[in-house]
Chain A
């Protein structure tokens, strides 16, 4: 038994209450609990002058797997201190680990925890590389983690899609394949990257619009997106399809992005790093912000959520599965070098260093577009705060980003430093909205937990995992969010005033949708035909997952029963495995579940 009481803090818990509440927060054995008045506790914290929130959850951050490790190798400059070696840690608990835009996994964990984050999700796990991704995530200390497996460019999926014809005769088989892949790779969801486009690049296509045919398989990205979104919905996977759309970074891609939302035909989906997908073609440089159009579409489609992929100025490296677009952008690499790969009839990867510059018209406008999107979408429950680490900038820039969103004066100061045409003409200049602490809490904890189906994370209600951060109130929000006074993970204090104090091993989130195992015959035939990993070897079992993840806890998330309507589901009793306590309410009123 261990207990903790936090008194006098301003509690911001958007899942359970509107606004801030001055209340006590209790923890018993790693879970939030209502402690009896006067009950003696092991630790008591006086949080007067502090804000108490659930631990941060980054639901789209490239923290582990092949392309991240390639980025570390490619960015040697980022892993030393000028001409000097990277300094060793001054904290005896930490092992040496270096890098700013793609730090080693150890440093990744340390830096996230110091900022008050307690979970992070790798969004692009290639099936053939799944074990590697889990190994790296397992070596990120403290944070709970999970990954979305990449589908929609694997040749077997495209082949089945082609064979099923326009009326999707074999949809049940494809759905089983999606479920099997999630099961085999121990994924938390499915991401599609440039739907069909990575494969098309292998057949030497250089672009693939939403309704353009893949030259070999004769299927369109529209069908890829719709089929995957439908499969996940029918499987009851809580996180809907995670979409990195066609035409990333291309001027005028807003048309594709809006059509992609249309292609979903009302199915739920999460559109990721939308800043890179919200470009118009207006103005003398034929490159303009389409943030307003995208925000209107998101506002009109409550079943759609987004994360931003905010660009931050300075050196970074982009690591993506989108070989087609990364190859196209490789000429802009700074420094001038890049890595790409065609991967195992599965996917691809491209790693391109970038330096976003304030005086670049394009980069300045990208920065503006991201902020405009944050400020134009009405419902914060549809928005997740990300930089698409490291693609828009490293995750360590989150406190700066939070200040930009919360502080109009500071935002204007930064805006004035940008390329003059952007600074003078952007709509952002006239936007007066300043996000509240509650809205930040939604975008950094409550909404990601809800979008992932994590009912016992992202909030401070009784029964939820006691992941929390206590921030000293400070008008300078960047300083405030850089180093919380306390961070707790499952009730264990892991950081104090920006310094690591304990390093428990994080757990692995995944889902286990059901499938007809007849699909394994199809997979066996495919593996024999193409010499890919034997089907029996492809499946990561629970014991192996545990070994990959350094003995961290396995955290299966229950799938929804697809035969039950969302309204019935809200009224239904809790599924087994979810700890006691109130289920989070859904203040957005727009449950995706």
Chain B
């Protein structure tokens, strides 16, 4: 049976903004300042709510000293306006925030990147170069009879992943075969949880070399190319993939190594090969903290994804060149605007550059020095409505307020900075 607590759906609509699954079956109960999760259990959601409950009374700061919002906006505009090459990083915000940030990025010639930009680029670069074939949660739940995890199940990123994919729901697919390639010691608990679910036959397959080599081997076998001394487990898995009605490869770009795009590309190749005869697709878990949202929004406005800028040479994109860590390491930028409105898990990097932090109230300590501006901002989905893209990239989830807002939204603050820049 499904573990979705459908019978206890919360009365007031709420979408949890704290992970890429954006679950809408849970609810929030306010008890004074404290927000509590109701209608189900999720450690990530509870952590996010606890942070939201704790950080209520932060105020703007300029150079480490308390300031009015007006003064913080003016200081932010002055510092970004004075920069020759600002970097907009973090970008943990909703569609409205990303829309506003694009205007400010155009006005300042800033480079945009997300806190999880490296993971985002693994998938994006493969989409750009090769394309792909993907699926969504409800399709997996309804149809997938074989699910192959490339690496351990990413429950750390998406705690309710099994529930959302319908694992344990024998009504839709009575028996699913679930194969995990390359699970590590940290995945033991995730595997135990999986094995305990009804209708899930779980197997683990050891890596052959690294994850890329293992997926490449599987790809060759799926394409029925001759492979000398192919391990029996891989031969059997390739045969199972070809025999499945709907095989789904699941991976998490954030868990992939430096050249993770190679793994993604190989998965695309496997799916395309399978689709010549049967049906298959990939599902990538990630894009949380507004990564997918900022990327989609900037892409539709500008035509180019994140890691782009409207610079002196024109509108340009550099998936490697414009990575935040690299730009900061190489002193290629001279001011940093960091946005982290959802929780405290994406703080700004250590830097001595002029810093403007539009942050969750809990992040105040990260911009408490000379040369910094801190503006506490509303948490989308807690302090007000908004929109975030779900992990599967298709569904733009509506967010709902769980309490009255004490802080301005990212969109409001950014609009004011943009306005101040022009004056």
Measured CB to CB, the residues of A under 8 A from B are: 64, 66, 68-70, 72-74, 76, 79-81, 84-88, 95-99, 102-107, 126, 128-129, 131-132, 135-136, 139, 155, 201-204, 327, 337-346, 351, 528-534, 536-537, 540, 544, 547-548, 550
Would A344 and B6 count as touching, CB distance under 8 A?
no
Say whether B404 faces chain A, with CB atoms less than 8 Å apart. Answer: no
Residues on the A chain within 8 Å of B138, using CB: 344-346, 530-532
Residues on the A chain within 8 Å of B279, using CB: 201-204
Residues on the B chain within 8 Å of A95, using CB: 102-103, 106, 301-302, 310
Would B172 and A131 count as touching, CB distance under 8 A?
no
Say whether B299 faces chain A, with CB atoms less than 8 Å apart. Answer: yes
CB distance from A332 to the nearest CB of B (A): 14
Would A73 and B387 count as touching, CB distance under 8 A?
no
Would B396 and A104 count as touching, CB distance under 8 A?
no
Q: Which of B40-48, B139-147, B206-214, B373-381 contacts A (4 or more CB under 8 A)?
A: B139-147
Would A537 and B303 count as touching, CB distance under 8 A?
no
Residues on the B chain within 8 Å of A66, using CB: 393-394
Would A533 and B303 count as touching, CB distance under 8 A?
no
Would B314 and A87 count as touching, CB distance under 8 A?
yes
Would B394 and A344 count as touching, CB distance under 8 A?
yes
Query: A73-B124, A96-B106 in contact; A79/B317 too (CB < 8 A)?
Result: yes
Would A531 and B166 count as touching, CB distance under 8 A?
yes
Q: Beyond A128-B394, A337-B131, A342-B281, list 15 extra A-B contacts (CB 8 Å).
A: A68-B300, A69-B296, A73-B128, A74-B131, A84-B314, A86-B316, A104-B302, A104-B304, A128-B395, A132-B396, A135-B396, A345-B139, A530-B141, A531-B166, A537-B24
Measured CB to CB, the residues of B under 8 A from A are: 2, 4, 6, 9, 13, 15, 24-25, 95-96, 99, 102-103, 106, 124, 127-139, 141-143, 164, 166, 171-172, 245-246, 275, 278-279, 281, 296-297, 299-305, 310-311, 313-317, 385, 387, 389, 392-398
Would B300 and A69 count as touching, CB distance under 8 A?
yes
Would A104 and B303 count as touching, CB distance under 8 A?
yes
Query: A72-B303, A104-B302, A531-B166 in contact; A131/B387 too (CB < 8 A)?
Result: yes
Would A72 and B164 count as touching, CB distance under 8 A?
no
Residues on the A chain within 8 Å of B9, using CB: 534
Residues on the B chain within 8 Å of A338, using CB: 131
Would B398 and A136 count as touching, CB distance under 8 A?
no
In the complex, A102 Cα to B305 Cα: how many Å?
A: 13
- 3 closest A-B pairs by CB: A85-B314, A85-B316, A104-B303
Residue among A66, A102, A342 with max Cβ neighbours from chain B (10 Å): A342
Would A341 and B281 count as touching, CB distance under 8 A?
yes
- Option from B281, B300, B393 in Cβ contact (under 8 Å) with A136: B300
- Option from B13, B127, B135, B394 in Cβ contact (under 8 Å) with A537: B13
- Option from B6, B124, B300 in Cβ contact (under 8 Å) with A105: B300
CB-nearest residue of chain A to B171:
A529
Would B398 and A131 count as touching, CB distance under 8 A?
yes
CB-nearest residue of chain B to A65:
B300
In the complex, A126 Cα to B392 Cα: how many Å?
A: 14
CB distance from A323 to the nearest CB of B (A): 9
Instruction: List 26 interface pairs A-B (beta carbons < 8 Å), by A numbering.
Output: A73-B128, A74-B128, A80-B316, A81-B314, A85-B315, A86-B314, A86-B315, A88-B315, A97-B303, A98-B302, A104-B300, A129-B396, A131-B396, A135-B396, A337-B130, A339-B127, A340-B131, A340-B133, A341-B394, A344-B137, A344-B394, A351-B131, A530-B142, A531-B4, A531-B164, A544-B398
Residues on the A chain within 8 Å of B316, using CB: 80, 85-86
Would A530 and B172 count as touching, CB distance under 8 A?
yes
Query: A72-B303, A132-B296 in contact; A533/B133 too (CB < 8 A)?
Result: no
Residues on the B chain within 8 Å of A540, using CB: 398
Residues on the B chain within 8 Å of A126, using CB: 394
In the complex, A202 Cα to B172 Cα: how many Å?
A: 15
CB distance from B171 to the nearest CB of A (A): 7
Residues on the A chain within 8 Å of B15, using CB: 537
CB-nearest residue of chain A to B282:
A341
In the complex, A550 Cα to B415 Cα: how many Å?
A: 13
- Option from B103, B141, B278 in Cβ contact (under 8 Å) with A531: B141
Would A84 and B313 count as touching, CB distance under 8 A?
yes
CB distance from A572 to the nearest CB of B (A): 38
Would A104 and B301 count as touching, CB distance under 8 A?
yes
- Is the contact region of chain B dominated by helix, strand, or loop, or is it mixed? mixed
CB-nearest residue of chain A to B172:
A530
Residues on the B chain within 8 Å of A529, using CB: 171-172
Residues on the A chain within 8 Å of B142, using CB: 155, 345, 530
Would A69 and B139 count as touching, CB distance under 8 A?
no
Would A76 and B317 count as touching, CB distance under 8 A?
yes
CB distance from A514 to the nearest CB of B (A): 24
Would B299 and A69 count as touching, CB distance under 8 A?
yes
Would B136 and A528 count as touching, CB distance under 8 A?
no
CB-nearest residue of chain A to B128:
A76
Would B139 and A96 count as touching, CB distance under 8 A?
no
Residues on the A chain within 8 Å of B95, using CB: 135
Residues on the B chain within 8 Å of A201, using CB: 279
- Option from B127, B166, B275, B398 in Cβ contact (under 8 Å) with A73: B127
Would B13 and A341 count as touching, CB distance under 8 A?
no
Residues on the A chain within 8 Å of B106, using CB: 95-96
Would A327 and B314 count as touching, CB distance under 8 A?
no
Residue among A85, A105, A135 with max Cβ neighbours from chain B (10 Å): A85
In the complex, A122 Cα to B371 Cα: how many Å?
A: 47
CB distance from B284 to the nearest CB of A (A): 12
Query: A96-B106, A344-B136, A344-B394 in contact; A339/B301 too (CB < 8 A)?
Result: no
Residues on the A chain within 8 Å of B314, using CB: 81, 84-88, 96
Would B131 and A341 count as touching, CB distance under 8 A?
no
Residues on the B chain within 8 Å of A346, using CB: 138
CB-nearest residue of chain A to B137:
A531
Would A85 and B301 count as touching, CB distance under 8 A?
no
In the complex, A135 Cα to B396 Cα: how many Å?
A: 10
CB-nearest residue of chain A to B106:
A95
CB-nearest residue of chain A to B246:
A202
CB distance from A162 to the nearest CB of B (A): 16
Residues on the B chain within 8 Å of A99, using CB: 303
In the complex, A342 Cα to B172 Cα: how many Å?
A: 17
Residues on the A chain within 8 Å of B130, using CB: 337
In the complex, A436 Cα to B56 Cα: how many Å?
A: 67
Residues on the B chain within 8 Å of A84, using CB: 313-314
Would A547 and B172 count as touching, CB distance under 8 A?
no
Would B311 and A85 count as touching, CB distance under 8 A?
yes
Query: A98-B304, A544-B385 in contact; A534/B25 too (CB < 8 A)?
Result: yes
Query: A129-B396, A136-B300, A345-B138 in contact; A327/B275 too (CB < 8 A)?
Result: yes
CB distance from B82 to the nearest CB of A (A): 21
In the complex, A81 Cα to B24 Cα: how many Å?
A: 43
- Option from A69, A79, A343 in Cβ contact (under 8 Å) with B136: A343
CB-nearest residue of chain B to A534:
B24
Query: A69-B300, A128-B394, A531-B166 in contact; A74/B127 too (CB < 8 A)?
Result: yes
Residues on the B chain within 8 Å of A79, using CB: 303-304, 315, 317
In the complex, A548 Cα to B94 Cα: how many Å?
A: 12
CB distance from B132 to the nearest CB of A (A): 6
Would A337 and B129 count as touching, CB distance under 8 A?
yes
Would B6 and A528 count as touching, CB distance under 8 A?
yes
CB distance from A334 to the nearest CB of B (A): 13
Query: A135-B387, A202-B279 in contact; A342/B135 too (CB < 8 A)?
Result: yes
In the complex, A68 Cα to B303 Cα: how many Å?
A: 10
In the complex, A64 Cα to B299 Cα: how many Å?
A: 11
Residues on the B chain within 8 Å of A136, using CB: 300
Residues on the B chain within 8 Å of A81, using CB: 314
- Option from A85, A139, A327 in Cβ contact (under 8 Å) with B99: A139
Would B278 and A536 count as touching, CB distance under 8 A?
no
Query: A139-B99, A341-B281, A341-B394 in contact; A96/B302 too (CB < 8 A)?
Result: yes
Residues on the A chain within 8 Å of B245, using CB: 204
CB distance from A225 to the nearest CB of B (A): 24
In the complex, A129 Cα to B394 Cα: how many Å?
A: 6
In the complex, A86 Cα to B309 Cα: how many Å?
A: 11
Would B139 and A86 count as touching, CB distance under 8 A?
no
